[in-house]
Amino acid sequence: MDNTSELKERFNTLSSPLQPETTNTKPALKQLDGIKAVIFDFYGTLYISGVGDIGIDDGKSDASLLLEAFKSIGLDIKEDRAGKRGYEIYDKIVTEQIQELKASGIPYPEPDIRVVWRNVLNQMYAENLIKTPTDESHHTRMAVEFEARMNPIWPMPDLDETLDKLSSRDFELGIISNSQFYTPIAFEALSGRSLEELGFNLNLLHWSYEESRKKPGLVFYENFLSKAKEELPDFSAENYLYVGNDMLKDVYPASELGMKTALFAGDARSLKWRKDDSRTRDLKPDIIITELNQILECV
């Protein structure tokens, strides 16, 4: 059963406005020739991220948030033990799934959070921390309830204006994102419009959970370009501008594959220069923007 509407409502209920935190970075803008498509990161670029990023092994270890999430989906739990032990089980299962994917040859794995929560809740039931069995609806709801509390998000200022103007100028729009199934659901919930209505080419949406791999892995970006080639056969890598907030996860792989790059330095929570990494120490993006609408001056 499709419960997307219910999940959107939960994101709307659990979300509240956030404002970017200044980075004291000066924009570095110039005209970029030959750009036909603008591809965005999501967390920390299109949307403010309360923890600066997404990752099933990131976020705040707060047992009270976990207990809130359990209660919100109607689980009958042992409150004195479910929070702390639930986190222990969660961390163990996440670690096991990451290690399993790495062993299969994926250096930067992205487990599916629904599978994680299925295994967590099943283990908690086996330990009598949850008094009744759970099903798929509990697993998806738990993922949303926990994520919305752990990593609050909100649209960046001028997001709609920037997308609308790029779309009106016939740029193809896409996303390459470290993500889970709920990422596009949250996007549409908080924007009030579908991704298609926002101007995105649905064939240029590249979500990490669908491939079990994520940034900064080059294969993840290579797979995007292969998919994009089928959709837009006349485009080459240099026709794409990739916009992201992280020099390692965004600028490095995109530039390695020939895409033009924009570092989004608009929020201190998420801006990552990565000066201590040999891959990014001397790397420079093509442009640096501090507001999304500055893209319009460069393409």
DSSP at 248: I
Residue 112 corresponds to which amino acid?
A: D
Cβ–Cβ < 8 Å for 185, 15? no
**16, HSE (Cβ side, Cα atoms, 13 Å):** 1
Q: What integer pLDDT is reported at residue 57 of this predicted model?
A: 52
Spell out the per-residue pLDDT of the chain, length 299, in tens.
579 999 999 999 999 999 999 999 999 999 999 999 999 999 999 999 998 766 555 555 578 889 999 999 999 998 888 888 998 999 999 999 999 999 999 999 999 999 999 999 999 999 999 999 999 999 999 999 999 999 999 999 999 999 999 999 999 999 999 999 999 999 999 999 999 999 999 999 999 999 999 999 999 999 999 999 999 999 999 999 999 999 999 999 999 999 999 999 999 999 999 999 999 999 999 999 999 999 999 99
Q: List, as own/partner pairs, every contact residues 71-80 make where C-beta atoms lie below 8 angstroms and the sequence separation is at least 24, other chains included.
A: 72/141, 72/145, 73/138, 73/141, 73/142, 73/145, 75/121, 75/130, 75/132, 75/134, 75/138, 76/130, 76/131, 76/132, 77/124, 77/129, 77/130, 77/131, 78/128, 78/129, 78/131
What is the number of other CB atoms lying within 10 angstroms of the CB of residue 6? 13
The residue extents of the domains of the chain are 4-54+152-297, 63-150
CATH superfamily, domain at 4-54+152-297: HAD superfamily/HAD-like (3.40.50.1000)
Q: What integer pLDDT is reported at residue 61 of this predicted model?
A: 59
pTM exceeding 0.85: yes
Catalogue the E-assigned strands of 161-248. 172-177, 200-207, 240-244
Q: At what angle do helices 113-126 and 79-103 cross, to 10 degrees?
A: 130
Query: Measured in Å, how far apart are the chain's first and last C-alpha atoms?
Result: 43
Match 């460069």 to its residue by tokens.
298
Residue 211 corresponds to which amino acid?
A: E
